[in-house]
């Protein structure tokens, strides 16, 4: 499947109906999700069992399944997000496993790749992406993770002895819908990490 096609499919998915700010529920924009998924696909990292930590409404998990991952499991704390993920998968006829659970306490075996867009806020002392990075590097051979621009120093230290192998900067134009300024665009910049644990 071409990237543009994946983009278009992912664009159609239902997002969070009532996002919970405490859980930092923010659906990954389709172009960023495609960027992560293609990056993983091209490196042969979508071949085995793929785990989406904090899968929310399922965009990364569903995208991985569409790109041919052997099996995909999404883990999410929020039951209502999981319900949407399930419906999104059903509408696309994609088979993924969805598990309700707290990231720090799940135990999954034989995970080859972890893909995630964890809650941000590392440098503000939030435990959010630390718990995610800890579990992801413990579980997966390779981890693809999205973080705020400027996180590299922290991530490199935090994931040791795993290694940050690539940091890809992604700029994404987010359209704003003002009444009189419909073309106003805000560019958000994020970093996509490939972390290798072996
Ligand atoms: N992966 C989705 C959602 C990203 S937002 C996407 O890319 O669109 C982060 C997700 O992590 C939210 O759905 C939130 O509910 C979930 N989350 C936050 N803390 C969690 C925790 N401790 N355990 C499991 N899921 C958690």
Whole-number Å distance between alpha carbons of 57 and 61 = 9
Whole-number Å distance between alpha carbons of 64 and 98 = 14
Whole-number Å distance between alpha carbons of 163 and 155 = 9
Q: Which residues pair with 147 in a beta bridge?
A: 191
Lowest mean pLDDT among 29-43, 81-95, 115-129, 165-179: 115-129
Return the ligand 1 atom nearest residue 128 CA.
Answer: 19
Q: Residue 122: its pLDDT value, please?
A: 42
Ligand 1 surroundings by CB, under 6 angstroms = 23-28, 52, 54-56, 59-60, 76-78, 81, 102-103, 117, 119, 131
Q: Which of 58, 64, 71, 72 is nearest to 27 (CA)?
A: 58
* Greatest Cα pair distance in the chain: 52
Residue nearest atom 3 in ligand 1 by C-alpha distance: 56
Whole-number Å distance between alpha carbons of 171 and 32 = 9
Mutating to test ligand 1, I would choose from 119, 122, 135 the residue with most ligand atoms within 8 A of its C-beta, which is: 119
Residue-number span of the structural domain to which 134 is assigned? 3-196
Residue nearest atom 18 in ligand 1 by C-alpha distance: 23
Domain count within the chain: 1
pLDDT in tens, 5-14: 999 999 999 9
182 confidence band (pLDDT: 50, 70, 90):
low
Q: How far is the CA of 88 from the centre of ligand 1 (A)?
A: 16
CATH code where residue 130 lies = 3.40.50.150
Q: Residue 120: its pLDDT value, please?
A: 77
Whole-number Å distance between alpha carbons of 142 and 144 = 7
SS3 52: strand
Token pair belonging to 134: 């800890």
Q: Which of 74, 70, 158 is nearest to 116 (CA)?
A: 74
């Amino acid at each position: 499947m071409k990237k543009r096609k994946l983009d278009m499919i992912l664009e159609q998915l239902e997002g969070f109906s009532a996002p919970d700010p405490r859980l930092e529920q923010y659906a990954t924009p389709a172009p960023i999700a495609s960027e992560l998924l293609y990056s993983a696909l091209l490196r042969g990292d979508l071949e085995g069992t793929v785990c989406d930590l904090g899968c929310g409404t399922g965009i990364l998990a569903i995208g991985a399944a569409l790109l041919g991952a052997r099996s995909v499991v999404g883990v999410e704390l929020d039951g209502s997000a999981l319900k949407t993920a399930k419906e999104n998968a059903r509408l696309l006829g994609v088979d993924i496993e969805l598990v309700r659970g707290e990231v720090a306490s799940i135990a999954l075996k034989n995970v080859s790749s972890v893909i995630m867009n964890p809650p941000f806020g590392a440098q503000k002392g939030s435990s959010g992406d630390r718990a995610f990075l800890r579990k992801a590097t413990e579980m997966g051979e390779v981890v693809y993770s999205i973080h705020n621009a400027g996180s590299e120093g922290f991530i490199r230290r935090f994931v040791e002895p795993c290694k940050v192998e690539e940091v890809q900067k992604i700029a994404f134009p987010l359209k704003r819908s003002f009444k009189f300024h419909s073309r106003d665009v805000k560019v958000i910049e994020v970093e996509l990490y490939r972390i290798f644990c072996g």
